[in-house]
């Protein structure tokens, strides 16, 4: 049986961008400044500093992505401390921490959080009525997976 996670009207939004996508994320954040002002922003390293300067508002800054920031965001997702993830990743350039990126995206899907990896999807998320009101998100039930793993170990 699945459970419900209640997202408040004020969302906790993770902002992440690879180097080549940082200008795009900053431009997007400025465009969405009014909407973002209603939410709590959490970001990895340099992205957080850039967003904070561009929006002239506080951003909770974690480590740089390659130095563990991606994993910090992933941990926050698993602990229900992130409600939405905006991750402008670069599809044209391999990253030295690709395994961390893949793990972060997997956690976003596993915990059923709204995610955007490009500007169009991010714009759709920001303009959704659900961004401005409480929302009951369904959390997947992984009991069957755990049961299978226990049987394999026996």
Write out the catalytic residue numbers. Answer: 70
Helix axis angle, 45-55 to 22-31, nearest 10°: 30
Q: How far apart are the C-alpha atoms of 103 and 34, rounded to whole Å?
A: 31
Q: How far apart are the C-alpha atoms of 105 and 38, rounded to whole Å?
A: 25
Please work out, in degrees rounded to the nearest 5, the angle formed at the alpha carbon of residue 110 by the alpha carbons of 30 and 120: 30
Q: How far apart are the C-alpha atoms of 118 and 116, rounded to whole Å?
A: 6
> Can you give the C-alpha Rg of the chain in angstroms?
16
Paired with 61 in beta bridges are 43
């Amino acid at each position: 049986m699945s459970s419900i996670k209640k997202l408040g009207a004020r969302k906790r939004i993770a902002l992440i961008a690879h180097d080549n996508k940082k200008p795009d994320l900053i431009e997007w954040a400025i465009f969405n400044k009014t909407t973002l002002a209603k939410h709590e922003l959490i970001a990895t390293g340099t992205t957080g500093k850039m967003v904070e300067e561009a929006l002239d508002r506080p951003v909770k800054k974690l480590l740089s992505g390659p130095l563990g920031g991606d994993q910090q965001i992933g941990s926050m997702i698993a602990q229900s401390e992130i409600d939405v993830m905006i991750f402008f990743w670069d599809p044209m350039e391999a990253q030295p921490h690709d395994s961390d990126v893949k793990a972060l995206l997997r956690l976003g899907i596993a915990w059923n959080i709204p995610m955007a990896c490009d500007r169009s999807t991010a714009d759709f998320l920001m303009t959704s009525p659900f961004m401005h009101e409480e929302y009951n998100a369904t959390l997947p039930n992984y009991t069957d997976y755990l049961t299978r793993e226990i049987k394999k170990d026996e």
